[in-house]
Amino acid sequence: MNIPETLNKSFLFGSFSSDQLRQLAEFTTVKKLKKDERLFDEGEKASAFYFVASGSVKIYRISSEGQEHTIEIQRDGDLVAEAAIFDKETYPAFCQAMDETVLLRIPKHDFIQMIERHPRIAIEIMHGYSKRLRWFVRLVEDLTMHNIKSRLARYILNNLSRDSERHISKLSISKKELASLLGTIPETLSRTLKSLKKDGLIGEEGDYIVIQNLRRLREVAE
């Protein structure tokens, strides 16, 4: 795989000139992970950040009681640990591949130098940060103001795609993961899905959620 070409797929790097991409590729290395392999651990010194070329990784923390808690899932085109670039500190969470995953490793130091030469890049990165921050603000709001049913409804609605005449939402992660992502446990997720099905808002077909009553699902999501 050609590194400049891969980078070009990203929202972030998509606006780079081919010259900039070539420069970036100079200090970028490819990192391949098998399913469940860890990219970094919480507390590890952060010397680089990553770009997901293919596959997906989950970012999670472990509570004092040993419970794993997913913070987010990053897929191809996303950046991982870019928040660690400018803080000289350590990774704030664990990162583990959810499938066979290919990443580009971008050393912090080289990247900062590049920014100094090409400030436009910084603006793109900051744009990404802004989005991320906004997303977290929403998440916090969600966690404090809404119950699980509405969080689940929101998740389903955010994932919507069209299949012939129907609205569907592919569950690309296990329900166990989804529960963790929604800030709950599998049992509760199972019951919540059941309740939405009972009320005729959704149906389940294998890995897909089929929307049966979009309007009412939106109402639940608020």
Chain residues that interact with DNA, rule: CB under 7 A: 147-149, 174-176, 183-194, 204
- Is the separation of the CB atoms in 180 and 60 below 8 Å? yes
46 or 179: CB nearest DNA? 179
CB of 215 to DNA, least distance (A): 21
Q: Which does 126 bind (CB under 5 to 8 A by kind): a second copy, DNA, none?
A: a second copy
45: DSSP letter: B
Q: Which does 194 bind (CB under 5 to 8 A by kind): DNA, a second copy, none?
A: DNA
- Is the separation of the CB atoms in 45 and 51 below 8 Å? no
- Rounded (10°) CA dihedral 131, 86, 141, 98: 80
- Is the separation of the CB atoms in 178 and 155 below 8 Å? yes
Cα gap 76→101, rounded to integer Å: 9
107 or 183: CB nearest DNA? 183
Q: Which does 87 bind (CB under 5 to 8 A by kind): DNA, a second copy, none?
A: a second copy
CB of 99 to a second copy, least distance (A): 23
- Is the separation of the CB atoms in 221 and 154 below 8 Å? yes
Can residue 139 be called a binding residue for a second copy (CB under 8 A)?
yes
Can residue 136 be called a binding residue for a second copy (CB under 8 A)?
yes
Cα gap 96→102, rounded to integer Å: 12
Q: Which does 45 bind (CB under 5 to 8 A by kind): DNA, a second copy, none?
A: none
